[in-house]
Homo-oligomer: A and B are copies of this chain.
Amino acid sequence: MKQHTSLPRGTRDFGPEVMMRRNFILDNIREVFTRYGFLPLETPAMENLSVLEGKYGEEGDRLLFKILNSGDFLRKSSIEDRKESSSLVSKITDKGLRYDLTVPFARFVASNRHNLALPFKRYQIQPVWRADRPQKGRYREFYQCDADVVGTKSLICETEIVLMINEVLQKLGVTDFSIKVNHRKILEGVCEFMGTPGQLSDLSVGIDKLDKIGWEGVKKELGGKGFSEDSIEKLATILKDGQSREKINSILTGTSASDGFEEFNSMKEMLSSFELENDHVQFDISLARGLAYYTGMIFEVIIADSGVGSVSGGGRYDDLTGVFGVEEIPGVGFSFGIDRLYDAMEHLDLFPVDDIKATEVLIVHFDDECFRYGLGSLKLLREAGIASEIYPDSTKLRKQLGYADKKGIRQVIIIGSEEMKTGNLTLKSMETGEEKSMGVNEIIRTLTTRNG
């Protein structure tokens, strides 16, 4: 009887090779977060729907995965309720799967605010679920990787985000990237300058697309939203190609933008204390992100020639927990898009062969006696911290070597009767085919020196 073994649409298995590469990325990110004083947090996959609903807009609510109540789930519903999905749903579900890491974090901060040492710096790396239409690069289950500081307005937080992005990407071997920065107040200033204050969200949606649809496209879109020709003309003087930050600052003199530029400059000055050769920060007036939430500096990271969109983004918000009835906890956060980082690194061929922690050595053997002899060597190899295996069955050497090959094990130790007699084992490189005869202690020295 053949049963089907397919996965739900939009979900993936991560086999060993992919997992090791993902772990390479995540281990580096965790190391940097930890060194910057961020501590780990995990929240449950399920949250009460009352916590999730109304936090992500109508579209978001629609994309929540809901958990059917246990047992006789219809017991709380009337025949009337059962006529429509929309009337039945709240009677048969009260939990949903995490949609992002921000709302659970806000819930955590709100309910633990009396026990937390503020400022609270946490990172969180967990999957989230969205009932989105799956397509290339968009999944229904994917990891988010967030770091936030709440309880302070200090610009050192923004500065450290820039530093952390630099450190992480450097550790991953990414060199050509830019950290685009803008400020909510600067965009407000643009609105004031255009004579359309209060239209910030329409404006943002428009200029955010400048990269994709060009200036003519943006003009058309803004026109359609009721922006006057005059106001669009004014916008043009700001978005003009190659316009410097200083120039834009002077055009927007007297608007809210000044506060934004001041913060930007303070951050750049703080950054200078860290003496980076290149901080990769690039002011970008067309960066808008989801402004509803952000109130200060906003970020987005682009890797050149990576074939993917932004791999990281974030910004400052004034009020993380207001929606849970706890006011005035400001903060700033950012996240790495692990799937995109993975794709970018693959595209740029940046995964180091040697840093992937797979098995280093396989012991192969000619018969049971050789196998038994090999156990002693296996013990010594592992005691020396070398990831090693012995082929478990007595079988043809070719089959054993095939296993090493398939699993990407780069060294094998061959044990035959000659080796047992002399104690000199054969170390064979699977890459070059080269064979060397040496004692197990010498093999251990060779392998640990190579790794060191």
Contacts and interface: CB of A to CB of B under 8 A. Distances in A.
Interface string A34-68: 11110111111111101100000000001101111
Nearest to A389: B37
A281 to B, nearest CB: 16
Interface stretch (A195-203, A253-261, A268-276, A301-309): A268-276
Nearest to A375: B273
B385 A5 contact: no
A437 interface: no
Interface string A63-91: 10111101111110000001011001100
A8 B47 contact: yes
A338 interface: no
B112 A8 contact: no
B325 A1 contact: yes
A263 interface: no
State the number of copies, please. Answer: 2
Contacts of A372: 270, 273
A5 B382 contact: no
B379 A275 contact: yes
Contact of A108 (B13, B270, B371, B382): B13
Contact of A40 (B23, B85, B97): B23
A10 B272 CA distance: 49
A117 interface: yes
Contacts of A398: none
A71 B131 CA distance: 9
Contacts of A140: 46
B67 A41 contact: no
Contact of A3 (B157, B275, B324): B324
Nearest to A112: B15
A152 interface: yes
* Chain A at the B interface: SS class: mixed
A329 interface: no
B85 A75 contact: yes
A222 interface: no
A5 B11 CA distance: 29
Interface string A234-253: 00000000000000000000
A129 interface: yes
Nearest to A321: B5
Given A16-B41, A111-B5, A35 B67 contact: no
A228 interface: no
A359 interface: yes
Nearest to A79: B82
Contacts of A82: 74, 82
Contacts of A324: 2-3, 5
A179 interface: no
B44 A11 contact: yes
A7 B95 CA distance: 10
Nearest to A88: B74
A92 interface: yes
A375 B154 CA distance: 13
Given A131-B70, A372-B273, A19 B37 contact: no
Interface in A115-137: 117-119, 121-122, 127, 129, 131
A249 to B, nearest CB: 23
13 contacts: A2-B325, A3-B51, A19-B40, A20-B40, A35-B386, A37-B362, A37-B388, A46-B129, A62-B71, A68-B92, A73-B89, A117-B407, A154-B392
By Cβ-Cβ distance, the 6 closest A-B pairs, closest first, are A117-B406, A16-B39, A154-B392, A37-B389, A2-B325, A11-B44
